[in-house]
Amino acid sequence: MAVLFTIGHSTRSIEELIAALRAHQIQTLVDIRAFPNSRRLPQFNREALAANLPAAGIRYEWMKALGGYRKKILDASPNIALRSEGFRNYADYMLTEEFEKATAELIAIAEAAPTVYMCAERVYFHCHRMLVSDWLVAHRHRVFHIDGTGPAKEHALTAEARIVDGRLIYRGDRLL
């Protein structure tokens, strides 16, 4: 069982992000944004993070395979409880071998050192970090959401999530 953390960079300064990471003894940040760039917040561009985080003693990794903004891959999604098309598309992607391989890599990183996975949204349930967190919790890992230097909040599996034939499906009480 791995213990992982999540954070959204939001509009923080790089100093605020580093302070939050240090407060939780994070040694590795895994960037799970599909497009790790921001014109408005250049401190969170991939190149800037790759330079600034190691200078603060924090390893930086980009995992494109866990990035959001997934296209529709299933004609009949089993994830009928997710109203957001973007979330439903990502949940469908979570059923792929590529996703399972990427999460295995994320777990291995977290088992080696305290690790946070990061996206842009500050609030995790507005972001695909929620879905990744659900997958990890459903597979018996622990996930904590960091918002700042205060205590992190432990992730609870989304109410609509179900394990069906060993796969995480968002169906709620509706039948597949």
Residue 60 maps to a domain:
yes
Q: Is the pLDDT of residue 119 over 50?
A: yes
Residue 175 maps to a domain:
no
Residue 152 maps to a domain:
yes
Residue 140 maps to a domain:
yes
Structural domain count of the chain: 1
Residue 81 maps to a domain:
yes
pLDDT given for residue 29 in this prediction: 98
What CATH number is attached to the domain comprising 159? 3.90.190
pLDDT (tens digit per residue) in 52-83: 999 999 999 999 999 999 999 999 999 999 99
CA 30, chain centre distance (Å): 9
Which of 14-28, 81-95, 158-172 shows the lowest mean pLDDT across its residues?
158-172
pTM: 0.94
Mean pLDDT value across the chain? 95
Q: Is the pLDDT of residue 175 over 60?
A: no
Mean pLDDT within 125-135 = 96
Residue 109 maps to a domain:
yes
Which residues form the domain of 63? 3-170
pLDDT given for residue 173 in this prediction: 66
Split at pLDDT 50, 70, 90, the class of 172 is confident
Residue 176 maps to a domain:
no
Residue 101 maps to a domain:
yes
The one-letter amino acid at 33: R
